[in-house]
Structure 1
Amino acid sequence: MTGPDVSSPGAPASGAAGAPHRWRALAVLACTQFLLILDTAIINVAVPSIGEDLHISPTGLSWVANAYLITFGGLLLLGGRSADHIGRRRVFVIGLVVLAVGSAVGAVANSAGWLIAGRAIQGLAAALAAAAAMALVLSIFPEGPERHRALGIFAAMAGGGGAVGTVLGGVLTDSFGWRSTFLMNVVAGAVLVVLALRLVPEVREPRGRRAFDAIGAVTVTAGLGLLAYALVSTGDIGWLAGRTVGAAGLATLCLVAFVFIERRSSNPLVPLGIFRRRRLRTANILGGLAQLVLFPTFFLVSIYLQDVLGYSPLGGGLGLLPMSLVVIAVAAVSERLIARFGLDVVMTAGFVVLGVGMLWLSRLSAEGDFVSEVLGPTVVLGVGLPLVTVTTNVAATAEATDSEVGLASGLINTSQQVGAVVGLAVMAGVAAARTSHLTGDDPARLDAVATTAGFQTAFLVGAVVSLVAAAVAVRLRRVRPVPVGLATVSRR
């Protein structure tokens, strides 16, 4: 049964902010985002136990992680646009249900094939839930301080998920076995579905349903999926391998075809005119650059703590907890910083802070310890992470009308996910290349000094990218509130 409208004719979409329980709804949405980001990190800790238990080769184990990244990155845009067309809460709940199903498949898997299938299903679920979750935040909270505060909380939970995933993965794997990391999602998904149906309002376009651009959906999903596949393959087979080049070529063809299809479609999946908006376009580029730096940093710092400083997997994960606490604290005040200094200033400062943190990390020593080598720079990164995440999300969605918020959230999520995959491929590749150069590809010569030198070079690349992003952010003018369209908000 559909409840009463909380918006009135002629009211802007921000009227959705009058929906009951909006802060409780945000808690559900932010916890889901935390869970989805956690899933990208938690598997890295469980992988050694999975390989030993199921007798999976190193290549097969890499695809346990990659299957999630490919489907997540490939389907985000489709998930966001589907939320606009068929209802944002509906797509969000579907994503949570699919997450529970995929996690159940992973929990009972007895072979590499079934485990990879479960991870792929989890990636599909993440694409639906993540895009719809941000669209719901944008619909429930009006443009301005209240939305900025909500996005700050959203960013804090996402940032915390990456670090907590390594800790929780170690605790669960050591105490209950690797299958518990999947069973956790089954339970969490079921709880979040119940809470979403009770607390999250449904938001729909006021117009009747438009025809869905199925051909455009197929081509863009294939293109993004193949692009993600090409990027994650570089870690196994290299940049110039036939499979990598072939997948990249097919991805390019699919994406070019998508552009032609959208230009001719009367109801395009992605109206290409949206890319003429300079704020949106620049914010998506910057969001991708931020994750290009940040996502591989979690991975590389964790490896440094374990392989160089000798920490256990759990200890390596705990080493990232101080950064997570700083992320939460800074995200909580990001709205006030934006209100006082302006979006462009906070964004630029955030990227400068990231650059400083990465430069500090590039001075890692093979003979150091956690306090002298890792604590300081990761705390600095914890300050920069929410500043760039909140501001790029605000800038990327500020110009979206009510019928475009799912699309806008899908675009920024896609930019961030592609940036993360590119960053992991590039920075891990740079680190490996530097280490190989020092050891002459002789495993017997591999030591802590050569490994650390690889990390130093990778973090230096991250610093350069951060400072380039800061220079781009300087040109992004202050984003002003933009009137948005009408929305019908109802509770079932």
Structure 2
Amino acid sequence: METTVPATAQVDAPPRRPGVLLAITCAAQFICVLDTSIVNVALPPMQESLGLSATGLQWVVSSYTLTFAGFLLLGGRIGDLWGRKRAFLGGLALFAVASLAGGLAQEGWQLVAARFVQGIGGAVLVPTTLSLITTGFPEPRARARALGLLTAAAASGSALGGVVGGLLTGLLSWRWVLFVNVPLGAVLALAAAWALAARPPDHVRGRLDLPGSVTVTAGTALLVSAVILGEERGWLSAAALGCLVGAVASFAVFVAAERRAEQPVVPLSVLRVRPVTVANSLSALTGGVLPAMMFFLVLYLQQVLGMDPLTAGLALAPAAVGIALGAQVASRSIERIGPARLFQLGTLVAAAALFWLSRLEVGGSYWTDVLAPSVLAMAGFGAAGLPLTVTAATGLGPERAGLASGLLSMSRQVGAAVGLAALVAVASTATASAGESAEALTHGFGIGLVAGACLQVAACVGGFALPRRTPHPG
């Protein structure tokens, strides 16, 4: 069954105020990514206030990740069909209302349900912000700078979740890690309504491919669920294996449905566009390395160096500076160096910094053992992220910017979920084999960081398949 909805045979009108557009999209990207980790520091007071079980706490975190990753491709397609201004405002409204409901929750299930809905809102917002940039900045240099800032905003959100969550929980209450999105959402909605141009009035009508949308969303959600349940209950548990089998079956049905659909949500020909496929594959390969590094460092600072959660979060705040610097250097260099070389340089810098970090010791110093290499690693991540964004987001032309953005966002989120779980499993295995002391814990973190560095080196080799010159939308 297919439902008729408005579609874009042409791109939305250019933004009236490009600077405001950039600020709006960066802010939206930041808060959506921030919410993947902002609740982590607030989990103990949430448990005390709502009587959540250990499993319930896990789902407060995982429910957002699940729907966020699962609905990204559909969210990007909605932007192509309904218009990006309408999709942006709708996703933002859903995100803000769900945040308000979560902050007002009186029972654990209410908080988990709100986080599920919040993830759907984020899944519409994130690919829409990326497609707004790729269509709103047609000039290559301006687009590269804008995408560099958007990349920095997303990576900063990933790095600063613990900092912002710790500040809000410590100064106000755990409810403010959710309430904070309400005034931010209201300001962004007013700014977007003022600054974004609506779709031209002479657009044609298209169709939303419901079978394809449902099966790809179900497959992605089941894959992420398999990772979550594998961590929680064991990789060979019936629940994890059942979700994995369901994911494979859903993707198989998705491919069959796309072969027959008149207007598929993902035309299979897209998968034969080499730059797009390579960029998405590399994004998935490296997606878990940054969150794994932050996970290891937060635990090292608290459990080994003895910092409290707020101090540990603040200690990692300078890493966001590294992300911003790397992304900005990349945006100024990509036209001259090209995506392939820039990506390879960024991954090598990140790999070297991760090897440096892997030398963590029980009696180590934050200033020499954590600060410098973490900032350097973040600079590498920032520089390597932009070439993938430019290649994937501009490889299909402006009329499919939402699809391209949804694919890239989905590959990043699935890669982050799977990669983080894998690297944590490697570290946990190394820790278990060395005992239960602080030395064993630090040893495990080091092994996990070495594994992350190896993924960056593998991605560097894969970077030879990226374009040598910056692709342009067309």
Letter in 2 for 1:469: A
Rounded Cα–Cα distance in structure 2 between residues aligned with 1:207 and 1:262: 24
Aligned to 1:452: 442
Letter in 2 for 1:158: A
> Is 1:476 the equivalent of 2:473?
no
Letter in 1 for 2:49: D
Question: How many residues are aligned here?
Answer: 466
Rounded Cα–Cα distance in structure 1 between residues aligned with 2:80 and 2:182: 27
Letter in 2 for 1:477: P
Matched ranges for 1:55-74 at <5 A: 55-74=51-70
Rounded Cα–Cα distance in structure 2 between residues aligned with 1:479 and 1:279: 11
Give the deviation of 1:454 after TM superposition: 1.1
Give the deviation of 1:372 after TM superposition: 2.3
Aligned to 1:393: 389
1:312 and 1:206, CA in 2 relative to 1: closer, same or farther beyond 3 A? farther
> Is 1:86 the equivalent of 2:89?
no
1:16 and 1:145, CA in 2 relative to 1: closer, same or farther beyond 3 A? farther
8 Å Cα contact 1:172-1:180 kept in structure 2: yes
Letter in 2 for 1:378: S
Aligned to 2:109: 113
1:347 and 1:204, CA in 2 relative to 1: closer, same or farther beyond 3 A? farther
Letter in 1 for 2:276: L
Q: Which runs of 5+ in 2 are unaligned?
A: 1-8
Matched ranges for 1:129-148 at <5 A: 129-142=125-138, 144-148=140-144
For each residue in 1:359-406, what CA deviation from the matched residue of structure 2 results, as whole angstroms up to 9, or x when unmatched?
A: 112111111121122112101112111111111000112221222100
Aligned to 2:227: 231
Give the deviation of 1:483 after TM superposition: 4.9
8 Å Cα contact 1:84-1:205 kept in structure 2: no
Rounded Cα–Cα distance in structure 1 between residues aligned with 2:471 and 2:245: 40
Rounded Cα–Cα distance in structure 2 between residues aligned with 1:16 and 1:420: 34
> Is 1:339 the equivalent of 2:329?
no
Aligned to 2:6: none
8 Å Cα contact 1:88-1:204 kept in structure 2: no
For each residue in 1:222-262, what CA deviation from the matched residue of structure 2 results, as whole angstroms up to 9, or x when unmatched?
A: 11111111111122111111100000100110011000100
> Is 1:461 the equivalent of 2:457?
no
Rounded Cα–Cα distance in structure 1 between residues aligned with 2:176 and 2:375: 30
> Is 1:161 the equivalent of 2:151?
no
Aligned to 1:278: 274
SS across alignment from 1:321: coil
Aligned to 1:180: 176
Matched ranges for 1:225-304 at <5 A: 225-304=221-300
1:98 and 1:483, CA in 2 relative to 1: closer, same or farther beyond 3 A? closer
Rounded Cα–Cα distance in structure 2 between residues aligned with 1:465 and 1:386: 16
Letter in 2 for 1:376: A
Aligned to 1:407: 403
Letter in 1 for 2:459: A
8 Å Cα contact 1:398-1:479 kept in structure 2: no
8 Å Cα contact 2:334-2:470 kept in structure 1: no
For each residue in 1:315-345, what CA deviation from the matched residue of structure 2 results, as whole angstroms up to 9, or x when unmatched?
A: 1111211111122223223222112222211
1:319 and 1:420, CA in 2 relative to 1: closer, same or farther beyond 3 A? same
Rounded Cα–Cα distance in structure 2 between residues aligned with 1:240 and 1:63: 20
Q: Which runs of 5+ in 1 are unaligned?
A: 1-9, 440-445, 485-492
8 Å Cα contact 1:85-1:205 kept in structure 2: no
CA RMSD for the aligned pairs? 1.7
For each residue in 1:104-150, what CA deviation from the matched residue of structure 2 results, as whole angstroms up to 9, or x when unmatched?
A: 11111122211100111111111000011111111101151111000
8 Å Cα contact 1:288-1:418 kept in structure 2: yes
Letter in 2 for 1:459: L
Letter in 2 for 1:249: V
Letter in 2 for 1:268: P
TM-score, structure 1 normalization:
0.92
Q: Percent identity at matched positions?
A: 38
Which deviates more from structure 2 when the two are superposed, residues 411-420 or residues 390-399? 390-399
8 Å Cα contact 2:130-2:393 kept in structure 1: no
Give the deviation of 1:47 after TM superposition: 0.9
Give the deviation of 1:289 after TM superposition: 2.1
Matched ranges for 1:202-217 at <5 A: 202-203=198-199, 207-217=203-213
SS across alignment from 2:399: helix
Rounded Cα–Cα distance in structure 2 between residues aligned with 1:299 and 1:174: 20
> Is 1:100 the equivalent of 2:90?
no
Give the deviation of 1:164 after TM superposition: 2.3
Letter in 2 for 1:366: V
Rounded Cα–Cα distance in structure 1 between residues aligned with 2:136 and 2:427: 43
SS across alignment from 1:281: helix
Rounded Cα–Cα distance in structure 1 between residues aligned with 2:272 and 2:318: 40
Rounded Cα–Cα distance in structure 1 between residues aligned with 2:376 and 2:398: 36
> Is 1:327 the equivalent of 2:318?
no
8 Å Cα contact 1:279-1:479 kept in structure 2: no
8 Å Cα contact 2:278-2:465 kept in structure 1: no
Rounded Cα–Cα distance in structure 2 between residues aligned with 1:331 and 1:34: 14
Letter in 2 for 1:367: G
Letter in 2 for 1:273: S
The partner residue of 1:348 within 334, 344, 347 is 344
